[in-house]
Structure 1
Amino acid sequence: MPGEAILSATGLTPVEEKRALRAAVLAARSALPAADRLERSHAIAQRLEEVPCFRDARTLALYAALGAEVDASGIAAGAASRGVLLVYPRIVPGDRRLAFARCAPEALVRGPMGALEPPAEAPPVPRDAVDCVLMPGVAFSPDGHRLGRGGGYYDATLEAMPRAARVGLAFDLQLVPALPAEGHDARLDALVTEARVLLFRRESR
């Protein structure tokens, strides 16, 4: 499993552990052939239907895959066909928290951090109106913790929207035995991979 040797090492600070884990897991994920990633993404979309907070969501926050992340385009198409309102995050200058706007996947534009996001004219949607947030990540642990790219955007955003369910999407190789958790790290309600669905219980919702 990617990162096991790093987790067993001694003398690393949490920041150093996270940096080493990111490098190991990103390398393993990038090594997956594109066709394999698409097939696994399709399996993840099917397994996601087992998650109640996703099925019940009327306003769903998604993301456009960056690099070798799980492709959520099939999830978006299925949710839209059921009448679910799709919103996507965008960077807010001077604010670590992401904003959300209503947008069709094909209308997304390249943002300042390289990710696709809603254009400036897309109708904004308040954070507290979002029922469920689907999010990518670099690594995940079996107790519901997530390791992102290091910017802290999702952690800060989710802290500001406690009502929204939090669902991580990942390939199974991104699951590591444990993650060095810090106080600001946002815990998930569910993690979905091509091989499993893990549900967690947060103390406050």
Structure 2
Amino acid sequence: MSATDPDGQPTKRMLRRDLIAVRNRLPQDDAEKAASVLAGRALELPELARAHTVAAYVSVGTEPGTRALLDALHARGTRVLLPVLLADNDLDWGAYDGADSLVRVQHQGKMELLEPAGERLGPDAVLAADAVLLPGLAVDEQGMRLGRGGGSYDRVLARLERAAVDPALVVLLYDPEVVARVPVEAHDRPVHAVVTPSGARRFR
């Protein structure tokens, strides 16, 4: 089955399964070291260095770690927005004000997430972001991102497109997760850059 097959979803499922299995075998020490290096690499990106507002997320499980990056952005005075998962899988947003501003939330049928405890700013708050950090499982050589399949960030990207705003779209990954090609559907959009422990790569 090719990456442009209209029935590409089973291929996405298989690729997600394989990538998650590899992540789940990553030793905790290696994940923590990668998170520290990733923060440094991401902070070197001009798109983040000059951003006044960054929409980000709190990594969970064996995802490439974002906590060090969130703290570094907050410390330098960048306004950081974090998502709040809604019942329909859309995202509201709240401001990050350090680790104490996060609360653990158990969404029914989903993994426990860390979300901002403060004021809800509404789904359109992301429109103010100069850069958006997108979670993902892989990015290919054309900059196409493979997400987890929940659709939350597809809604974010569609909202940005409808509003005709164009923040820098950045994905944090482990090095092997930059692949030759991922399955693509009509609604998928390329990202601007991927950051891995070995460096950053831009696509457009």
Alpha carbons 1:28, 1:173 under 8 Å: kept: no
In the alignment, residue 70 of structure 2 is paired with which amino acid?
A
CA distance in 1, matches of 2:119, 2:13: 35
Alpha carbons 1:101, 1:118 under 8 Å: kept: yes
In the alignment, residue 96 of structure 2 is paired with which amino acid?
C
CA distance in 2, matches of 1:29, 1:78: 25
SS in 2 for 1:23: helix
In the alignment, residue 50 of structure 2 is paired with which amino acid?
D
Partner of 1:56: 50
CA distance in 2, matches of 1:51, 1:200: 14
CA distance in 2, matches of 1:137, 1:31: 17
Q: Is 1:145 aligned with 2:138?
A: no
The equivalent position to 1:184 in structure 2, one of 173, 183, 187, is 187
Q: Is 1:165 aligned with 2:168?
A: yes
Using the size of structure 2 for normalisation, the TM-score is: 0.85
String of CA shifts for 1:137-166, please: whole Å, max 9, x gaps. Answer: 112212111111111111111221242221
SS in 1 for 2:18: helix
Partner of 1:122: 119
Fraction of identical pairs, as percent:
33
Post-superposition offset of 1:135: 2.2
Over 3 Å counting, the alpha-carbon distance change for 1:187 and 1:25 in structure 2 is same
Partner of 2:12: 18
CA distance in 2, matches of 1:58, 1:69: 25
String of CA shifts for 1:62-94, please: whole Å, max 9, x gaps. Answer: 211111001111111111111111110112333
The equivalent position to 2:196 in structure 1, one of 177, 193, 196, is 193
Post-superposition offset of 1:187: 1.7
Using the size of structure 1 for normalisation, the TM-score is: 0.85
Post-superposition offset of 1:123: 4.7
String of CA shifts for 1:32-88, please: whole Å, max 9, x gaps. Answer: 101101111111111113321111111111211111001111111111111111110
Alpha carbons 1:159, 1:186 under 8 Å: kept: no
SS in 1 for 2:39: helix
SS in 2 for 1:115: strand
CA distance in 2, matches of 1:97, 1:44: 27
Post-superposition offset of 1:115: 1.8
Structure 2 unaligned residues grouped into runs of 5+ = none
Partner of 2:24: 30
CA distance in 2, matches of 1:26, 1:140: 14
Partner of 1:99: 92
Over 3 Å counting, the alpha-carbon distance change for 1:66 and 1:193 in structure 2 is same
Alpha carbons 2:74, 2:96 under 8 Å: kept: no
CA distance in 2, matches of 1:144, 1:20: 20
CA distance in 1, matches of 2:176, 2:159: 30
CA distance in 2, matches of 1:142, 1:50: 21
Alpha carbons 2:2, 2:8 under 8 Å: kept: no
* Map 1:36-47 → 2, pairs under 5 A: 36-47=30-41
In the alignment, residue 150 of structure 1 is paired with which amino acid?
G
String of CA shifts for 1:91-150, please: whole Å, max 9, x gaps. Answer: 2333x431211133332223324221123x425262221111112211221211111111
CA distance in 1, matches of 2:100, 2:154: 27
